[in-house]
Amino acid sequence: MLRNPKLEEFQMDTKPPRKSFQHKFSDFLHNDETGTILGRTPESWSKILVFYTIFYAALIALFAICMVTFLQQFINPRVPRLQQEYSVIGTSPGLGFRPLPADVRSTLIYYKGTGYESYKFWEDQLIDFLSVYKKKGQTAGTGQNIFNCDFRNPPPPGKVCDVDIRSWDPCIEENHFSFHKSSPCIFLKLNRIYGWRPEFFDDLASLPRDMPDDLVSYITNATANNRDYANMVWVSCQGETPADREMLGPISYLPYPGFPGYFYPYENAEGYLSPLVAIHLQSPKTGIILNIECRAWAKNIRYDRREKLGVVHFELMLE
Amino acid sequence: MTNKINPSYDNLYLGCVLIAVDVICGLFSFYQNYKSSKIMKTFNSMIPVYANCVRDGVMDSETPVRNLVRGDIVEVKAGDIVPADIRIIESKGFKVDNSSLTGESIAVLRANVEGTSNILESPNVAFFSTQCVEGWALGVVLCCGDLTALGRVAGLAARLKPALSPLARELKSFMRCMSLWALCLGFFLAIASLIIGYPFMQTIIFVIGIIVANIPEGLQPTVTASLTLTAQLMVKKQCLVKNLDAIEALGACTTICSDKTGTLTQNKMCVHHIWMWNQTYNVSKIDSEKNNKVFQSLTICGALCSTASIQSDGNISGDASEKAILNFLMEHDNPMTIRDNFPKVAEIPFNSANKYQASVCLNKYDSKFVVLMKGAPEYIANRCATIALKTGNTSLTTEMMKVVELATEKLANSGERVLAFADLTLNTKEFPIDFEFDIDNINFPLDKLRFLGLLGLMDPPRQEVGNAIRRVREAGVRVMMVTGDHPATARAIAHEVGIATSENCYIITGTELRDMSSDVLNWTLEKYYEIVFARTSPTQKLQIVEACQSRGDVVAVTGDGVNDAPALRKADIGISMGLTGSQVSKQTADIVLMDDNFATIVTGIEEGRKIFDNLKKSVCYILISNAPEILPVLMFILFSIPLPLGVMTIICVDLGTDMWPAVSLAYESAESDVMDRVPRKSERLVSARMLRQAYGHLGLMEFAAGMYAYFIVMAEHGFYPAALIGIRKKWDNVAINDLEDSLGQEWTYAERKELERAAQAAYFVAIVVTQMTNGIICKTRFNSFFQVGMKNRILNMGLVFELILACLLCYIPGLSNFFQTYPIRVRWWFLAIPFAVLMFVFDEFRKYCIRNVMYNGWFNNLSYY
């Protein structure tokens, strides 16, 4: 047995009092003898508290100072610090479509029959998406920015161009975007990239070889009347496979198969509206999945099917 | 209905990396073990074991034990280890200690007698590995190697796991805690991740990330590196570390029980003082007395009485004190000429009953016989009638006897062994030249001699011992002397080497120890700091070691003799002397001092403490990067921001950039306070203080640096911090290809993920930059960085390596894809600098407070790990 070293030569060691677990635990919570709470005296706790308050305050202060300095000195709230090729976003905007399916992993637009309940989800999606375009006059400070744009009259700085979706019959809300007739309208949009200017195919002879024939002929026609129409980011949609193409039937583009050049560049102007193209699938075959691929055409829109660059893919199935 | 045209390769890459990590870790630890076992092997071969073997009638005293075969005849002498199982064929007083094999503590007699059926009890067989305690024997080898009795037991024992060293225990418990913590955290995060709706696969990846982040992968190589490094360093200092963990245990050592003879002293007797009538001369000042007639008689007597012989090559062989006398005489006279001039005609050898040794020589100058006697002073003085003075001979009166006794006592008290010398010239009439001296029936006078003087002999302490013991004691290690020698000698040496610094040093003899209960012994160890145990037996040495260990001490035993072997084995660290040490002690010991330099122990303690310190530094370094690896996931869940640090990047930090600096901290030199503090007793490798420092202070600063870098990269691209909070669901949605940032730009999923990689890379780089600062911070626990400087070249290289590796990971196109990093802009490397500076300043301040024990040592209690 070991002697307690604190004891004198002839002093006897006393038996240590036995403590139950509960007793020990309550001692840990609050010990009357030493006055400790959770193993420390209140004084010790307060010191810890003071130290960590100061320490974390200093750390947060440094973080805040660095953050604020950076945000104020180097960041413009209206202009991105890194743009286009300097930014990860790059110079090739992505093409998007509406309405979007509910399941995030799917790109299938599917509805059954012509009843309102069956396509209500898709219609609501589109109404929601297009509400910005309809309500532009009501939004504060946006209405007055609208400028009547033209190829010859690009908007002055601070002004934005209008997108008149009301005239795109049959792809209008009142017509249920033609969903009820099993010839739905799908809306296409090009992602906004600050300061991005499309490089147009202004020379008809140099149109890419893989451009669909109907688009080529459309361009030829349009530019024959007015050369300015060449200043468009063209859009084409078609079935992915020859079979899809056959089943898909004719497609009409509203208002034109492209985004007019005067919408660009996007410079974060108040009330800016992205140009839209509605594609009206006039008579797609029902009861079968149709793979549709839409592509945006400009010299500086990169195209890579594998990487899904410059192209958007969705499926359609009507029953 | 999903249509994944090109499934992502990320998970495949992750799997590859994890498998590669496992394989590399396995190979690395194999390599390290292989390397250290190779070192151990060379150690073992450096202490060869030889046997005296007669084969084909030829005796070879240098036959390696492993070359023995059945049928060889071996000779075993006292102190030897029996080299194989042998059948005794000839012996004299041959006793073996079978304790290692049978547990008998008493040595048993073995001889060429009839055996018994049980071979273990057979009185004519001696077993391999047992030690011969007394006598000698010749025996025929019966079996060797694994076939021996010990070999069979060892075969059994090999399957049992040996007890872990303190360091191994510490590491094991730490690893267990860490793994448990990692698993719990992983489990918690898995649940959280599933609740917020992450797919199962993604959740598994998170959990893997968390576990990888928490497990300190760099620890094992660091431990092996420090131990191997130190062992190599110790070899350079002529110190063999047979058991790698022992060197670390030496750092934790609280008590050293040192043997005296051969360890503290040179084990070489020297004449220290000469007493001739009423005058004590120091050996260095005797030259003035060269022409003193008494001194001349004393030299003659010494030369003739000493039984040591001078060999042709000038070496002196014989008993220690006899050699001492001859050595002394060599400096003043030529004992060979004396011996030639005084041919010996008879000699009565020394025995413990009569306590003297006498010889009769013929003086060639006057053809008279002389009786010369040497022995214990009290016996010699009693046989003397006259005493030699400078002026001539006078009769030895009672008062004079008192003076002689006093001188003897004085010399003896200073730890010297005193020998008295006397002579008597025999009368030619009674003892003519042809007189036959008979030593069995003594026919010549051995009394009425002439007393010549006294020689005080002493085994002087080794030169370096005093200084070494002072330093060891300064390091808070208690040094006790445990010797089989006389109390007076022990006390004198203890005073001389500094084990006893004051008169109240407590001396316990073996007899007193036998009467002590273990309680009283404990109490004595408690009450007296300086204790000298004298006249102790081997078992008592063991008892003392056990008593110390039961008090919770970590005990080191230094010894050279066979009698130290049990204590050496029992001790936490057994230290043996390589030159003077016996075979047994060297084999039992964990550490062998090849040049017998006691001062190496000081280095050993320093190195041991350094190992523990450096391990702590390394663990701290590894732990600090855990916080910035775990917290991003928490931010991700709590604030729904895009994930700030990916699993791959966590692996890059833990198994890539952090690895070398963590290991290189093992190469850090010792701190200045390493020998000023008391030995650690219950100090843990990883304490609450270290966790506070790692997770609460520095880790959080790294986390802040990482988050800052992350937010800045996001902000520069258009996602301002406010916009990020709560964005996670949309951000991680593959279908959303037009997520708007704070400036109305729309991002596709692929673009977003690329941006996420860029932000994660910036976070990763922030960790790398702060971890580099951290490497500098963790260099010291106590000293200021400015005192230490950047002298650790391995660490410096490690820091450069860390930087280069981070660059490679970011900028090599294939690698950056594989490891999910991004070639980030150069300016983003500097984002962490303010935080790195804060870390450095804070830690210097903390260390300053610790050094000066400011605020009542508050910082010391908080974070001095």
Please give the Cα distance from B838 to A25 (Å, whole number): 40
pLDDT level of residue B318 (50, 70, 90 thresholds): low
Task: Please give the pLDDT value at position B862.
Answer: 80
Which residues contact residue B116 at a Cβ distance below 8 angstroms, ignoring those fewer than 6 apart? B122, B123
Cross-chain Cβ contact B745/A193 below 8 Å: yes
ipTM reported for the complex, 2 dp: 0.87
Asked if A64 and A127 sit in the same domain, the reply is: no
* A170 shares contact with chain B (CB less than 8 Å): no
Task: Please give the pLDDT value at position B157.
Answer: 44
Whether residue A260 is predicted with pLDDT greater than 70 in this model: the reply is yes
* B25 shares contact with chain A (CB less than 8 Å): no
Please give the Cα distance from B583 to B79 (Å, whole number): 8
Task: Please give the pLDDT value at position B167.
Answer: 81
Q: Is A290 part of any domain?
A: yes
Asked if A172 and A300 sit in the same domain, the reply is: yes
What three-state secondary structure class fits B518? Answer: helix
Which residues contact residue B723 at a Cβ distance below 8 angstroms, ignoring those fewer than 6 apart? B741, B742
Give Cα separations from B489 to B416, B494, B495 (angstroms).
Answer: 6, 8, 10
Task: Please give the pLDDT value at position A139.
Answer: 52
Q: Cα-atom radius of gyration of chain B, to the nearest Å?
A: 38
Residue B61, phi-psi category: left (phi > 0), alpha (psi -120 to 50), beta (remainder): alpha
Asked if A68 and A102 sit in the same domain, the reply is: no
- To probe the interface with A, which of B743, B817, B835, B858 has the most A CB atoms within 10 Å? B743
Which residues contact residue B632 at a Cβ distance below 8 angstroms, ignoring those fewer than 6 apart? B643, B644, B645, B703, B706, B707, B763
Q: Is A298 part of any domain?
A: yes
Residue B415, phi-psi category: left (phi > 0), alpha (psi -120 to 50), beta (remainder): left
Q: Which of B402-411, B482-491, B510-519, B736-745 has the lowest mean pLDDT?
A: B482-491
Which chain A residues are within 8 Å of B748, Cβ to Cβ? Answer: 94, 191, 308
Which chain B residues are within 8 Å of A47, Cβ to Cβ? Answer: 858
Task: Please give the pLDDT value at position A138.
Answer: 52
Return residues 93-132 of A near B (CB < 8 Å): 93-94, 96, 100-101, 103-108
pLDDT digits (tens, 9 = 90+) for A194-237: 888 888 887 777 788 888 888 888 888 888 877 778 888 889 99
A4-39 residues labelled b (16+ CB within 10 A) or e (exposed): eeeeeeeeeeeeeeeeeeeeeeeeeeeeeeeebeee
Q: What are the phi and psi torsion angles at B489 (to 5°)?
A: -60, -45
* B533 shares contact with chain A (CB less than 8 Å): no
Cross-chain Cβ contact B750/A71 below 8 Å: no
Two structure tokens written together for A175: 């017509």
What is the arithmetic mean of pLDDT over A232-247?
Answer: 88
B-chain residue closest to A308, CA distance: B750
Which chain B residues are within 8 Å of A58, Cβ to Cβ? Answer: 838
Return residues 201-260 of A near B (CB < 8 Å): none
Task: Please give the pLDDT value at position A5.
Answer: 55
Cross-chain Cβ contact A87/B5 below 8 Å: no
Task: Please give the pLDDT value at position B803.
Answer: 93
Q: Which of B432-436, B728-732, B776-780 has the lowest mean pLDDT?
A: B432-436
pLDDT level of residue A282 (50, 70, 90 thresholds): confident
B-chain residue closest to A94, CA distance: B748
What three-state secondary structure class fits B353? Answer: coil
Nearest CA of chain A to the CA of B751: how many Å?
6
* A268 shares contact with chain B (CB less than 8 Å): yes
Which chain B residues are within 8 Å of A69, Cβ to Cβ? Answer: none
Asked if A168 and A255 sit in the same domain, the reply is: yes
pLDDT level of residue B5 (50, 70, 90 thresholds): very low
Q: Where are the alpha helices (DSSP H) in B196-345?
A: 200-214, 219-236, 244-252, 293-305, 320-330, 335-341
**Dihedral sign, Cα of residue B126, residue B131, residue B132, residue B138:** positive
Cis before B349 (ω within 30):
no
Please give the Cα distance from A204 to B295 (Å, whole number): 131
Matching residue, tokens 């601070």: A158
Which chain A residues are within 8 Å of B708, Cβ to Cβ? Answer: 63, 66-67
Task: Please give the pLDDT value at position A141.
Answer: 54
Which chain A residues are within 8 Å of B729, Cβ to Cβ? Answer: none
Asked if A197 and A264 sit in the same domain, the reply is: yes
Asked if A126 and A211 sit in the same domain, the reply is: yes
Please give the Cα distance from A143 to A154 (Å, whole number): 17
* B716 shares contact with chain A (CB less than 8 Å): yes
Please give the Cα distance from B856 to B495 (Å, whole number): 39
Q: Is A86 part of any domain?
A: no
Q: Is A81 part of any domain?
A: no
Nearest CA of chain A to the CA of B348: how many Å?
54
Angle, helix B627-639 to helix B200-214, in steps of 10 degrees: 150
Cross-chain Cβ contact A94/B551 below 8 Å: no
Two structure tokens written together for B575: 């230290």
Q: Would you list the DSSP string of B762-812? A: HHHHHHHHHHHHHHHHHT-SSS-HHHH-S--HHHHHHHHHHHHHHHHHHHS
Cross-chain Cβ contact B718/A107 below 8 Å: no
Q: Is A82 part of any domain?
A: no
Two structure tokens written together for A53: 């308050």
Q: Which of B349-363, B446-460, B466-480 has the lowest mean pLDDT?
A: B349-363
Q: Is A11 part of any domain?
A: no
Two structure tokens written together for B128: 């391999």
Please give the Cα distance from B414 to B487 (Å, whole number): 11
Return residues 729-758 of B near A (CB < 8 Å): 733-738, 740-748, 750-751, 754-755, 758
* B546 shares contact with chain A (CB less than 8 Å): no
- Whether the CB-CB separation of A191 and A90 falls below 8 Å is answered with no
Whether residue B190 is predicted with pLDDT greater than 70 in this model: the reply is yes
What is the arithmetic mean of pLDDT over B55-71?
Answer: 83
Whether residue B712 is predicted with pLDDT greater than 90 in this model: the reply is yes
More confident call, B38 vs B244: B244
Whether residue B34 is predicted with pLDDT greater than 80 in this model: the reply is no
Whether residue B4 is predicted with pLDDT greater than 50 in this model: the reply is no
Nearest CA of chain A to the CA of B522: how many Å?
7
More confident call, B791 vs A135: B791
- Whether the CB-CB separation of B286 and B295 falls below 8 Å is answered with yes
Q: Which of A285-289, B56-60, B321-325, B625-629 has the lowest mean pLDDT?
A: B321-325
Please give the Cα distance from B575 to B591 (Å, whole number): 5
Assign 3-class secondary structure to B115-184. CCCCHHHCCCEECCCCEEEEEEEEEEEEECHHHCHHHHHHHHHHHCCCCCCHHHHHHHHHHHHHHHHHHH
Asked if A177 and A252 sit in the same domain, the reply is: yes
What is the arithmetic mean of pLDDT over B219-229?
Answer: 81
Two structure tokens written together for B64: 């390696």
Cross-chain Cβ contact B2/A106 below 8 Å: yes
* Angle, vertex CA B243, rays to CA B242 and CA B248, nearest 5: 125
Whether residue B89 is predicted with pLDDT greater than 60 in this model: the reply is yes
Asked if A68 and A97 sit in the same domain, the reply is: no
Q: Out of B696, B720, B834, name the one closest to residue A62 (CB).
A: B834
Short-list B48, B500, B36, CA closest to B226: B36
Please give the Cα distance from A291 to A248 (Å, whole number): 9
Please give the Cα distance from B126 to B821 (Å, whole number): 70
Which chain B residues are within 8 Å of A108, Cβ to Cβ? Answer: 1
| Stated length of chain A | 319
Cross-chain Cβ contact A193/B551 below 8 Å: no
Q: What are the phi and psi torsion angles at B579 (to 5°)?
A: -85, -55
Which residues contact residue A100 at a Cβ distance below 8 angstroms, ignoring those fewer than 6 apart? A125, B735, B736
Q: Out of A105, A108, A192, name the one closest to residue B744 (CB).
A: A192
A-chain residue closest to B739, CA distance: A191
What three-state secondary structure class fits B831? Answer: coil
CATH code (residue A271): 2.60.40.1660
Q: Which residues of B are catalytic?
A: 259
What is the arithmetic mean of pLDDT over B660-671?
Answer: 86
Q: Where are the alpha helices (DSSP H) in chain A?
A: 21-29, 42-74, 116-134, 213-225, 242-248
Short-list B701, B709, B712, B710, CA closest to B835: B701
Q: Is A258 part of any domain?
A: yes
pLDDT digits (tens, 9 = 90+) for B577-630: 877 776 667 777 888 888 888 888 888 888 888 888 888 898 899 899 889 998
Which chain A residues are within 8 Å of B701, Cβ to Cβ? Answer: 59
Which chain A residues are within 8 Å of B699, Cβ to Cβ? Answer: none
Name residue B764's amino acid. F
More confident call, B829 vs B233: B829
* B704 shares contact with chain A (CB less than 8 Å): yes
Q: Would you list the DSSP string of B66-99? A: GG--TT-EEEEETTPBP-SEEEEEEEEEEEEE-H
**CB burial of residue B155 (10 Å; 0-12, 13-18, 19+):** exposed
Cross-chain Cβ contact A193/B720 below 8 Å: no
The neighbouring-strand residues paired with A188 are A97, A277
pLDDT digits (tens, 9 = 90+) for B691-701: 888 888 899 99
Please give the Cα distance from B361 to B426 (Å, whole number): 10
Nearest CA of chain A to the CA of B212: how many Å?
27
Q: What is the DSSP letter of B235?
A: H
Give Cα separations from B676 to B5, B93, B225, B330, B476 (angstroms).
Answer: 68, 52, 25, 46, 7
pLDDT level of residue B264 (50, 70, 90 thresholds): confident
Q: Which of A54-58, B238-242, B565-569, B595-599 has the lowest mean pLDDT?
A: B565-569
Host domain of residue A188? 93-318
Asked if A103 and A60 sit in the same domain, the reply is: no
Whether residue B223 is predicted with pLDDT greater than 70 in this model: the reply is yes
Q: What is the DSSP letter of B692?
A: I
- To probe the interface with B, which of A66, A268, A303 has the most B CB atoms within 10 Å? A66
Asked if A27 and A162 sit in the same domain, the reply is: no
- What is the number of structural domains in chain A? 2
Cross-chain Cβ contact A312/B737 below 8 Å: yes
Task: Please give the pLDDT value at position B702.
Answer: 93
pLDDT level of residue A134 (50, 70, 90 thresholds): confident
Name residue B79's amino acid. G
Cross-chain Cβ contact B717/A306 below 8 Å: no
- To probe the interface with A, which of B711, B717, B855 has the most A CB atoms within 10 Å? B717
Asked if A155 and A278 sit in the same domain, the reply is: yes
Asked if A123 and A52 sit in the same domain, the reply is: no
Task: Please give the pLDDT value at position A12.
Answer: 61
* A306 shares contact with chain B (CB less than 8 Å): yes
Model pTM score: 0.77
pLDDT level of residue B841 (50, 70, 90 thresholds): very high
- Whether the CB-CB separation of B222 and B666 falls below 8 Å is answered with yes
Which chain B residues are within 8 Å of A56, Cβ to Cβ? Answer: 700
Q: Is A209 part of any domain?
A: yes
